A = this chain, B = another copy of it.
Amino acid sequence: MSKLRCQISISLDGFVAGRNQSEENPLGEGGERLHDWVVPLAAWRQSHGEQGGEVNASTRIFEESLENVGAGVMGRNMFGPVHGGAWGDEPWTGWWGDNPPYHYPVFILTHYPRDPVEMEGGTTFHFVTDGIESALGQAREAARGKDIMLWGGGKIAQQYLAAGLLDELELHVVPVLLGDGARLFDNLGGAKVQLEQVRAVEAPGVTHLKYRVVT
């Protein structure tokens, strides 16, 4: 069966976003430092239509996030303002330009119903208003046996973790102390989540810790 996989960058003190998250800055204050390990990678730049960049031990980790994935699930905070709102007249279609780096259907959890948006390069954004199980069900069907990537933010990851629906969690642990913000392992509501360490990969400025969720 296809797996629901989550990868997320996290500060050493457990935050996946800094304080004062907003629509304009979903990563909060200082949160962009969580991505310092990935943005310089040649593999990341290439997937975002850019040239050049570094190759190091994180390259393989990033490449794996692109492999055998047939659909995605994303929170509304990561996607941006589903309903338009303060963002002008054009309907918002995410942060990633006309050709987003997904190239598969992405199911976005939101309270605002909206028709699917077909982008270039195989990405279609679907908007799901009836909860995480429905989004996962639709994603699983769309993935046709491949895995489903659970993109952030942290709140969505928490919900899938607490519901026992997550199969694999890979944390990119960054040597930064944010001090405040959104914690990944919060709001689990006493859910007994059991993890098994799969591997650890040391890379420049980050360690990648992969766990299997055992239920």
Contact = CB atoms under 8 A, between A and B. Distances in A.
Interface of A: 12-14, 171, 173, 175-177, 179, 183-185, 188, 190, 193, 195-197, 199-202, 205-207, 209, 211
- In the complex, the count of this chain's copies comes to 2
Given A175-B196, A177-B185, A200-B200, 11 more contacts: A12-B171, A12-B185, A14-B183, A173-B173, A175-B197, A179-B185, A197-B202, A197-B205, A197-B207, A200-B201, A207-B209
26 contacts: A12-B195, A12-B209, A12-B211, A13-B14, A13-B185, A14-B14, A14-B185, A173-B173, A173-B209, A175-B195, A175-B196, A175-B197, A175-B211, A177-B185, A177-B188, A177-B193, A177-B195, A179-B185, A179-B190, A197-B202, A197-B207, A199-B202, A200-B201, A200-B202, A200-B207, A201-B202
A159 to B, nearest CB: 15
Contacts of A175: 195-197, 211
A-B pairs with lowest CB-CB distance, top 8 = A13-B185, A200-B202, A200-B207, A175-B195, A14-B14, A175-B197, A177-B193, A200-B200
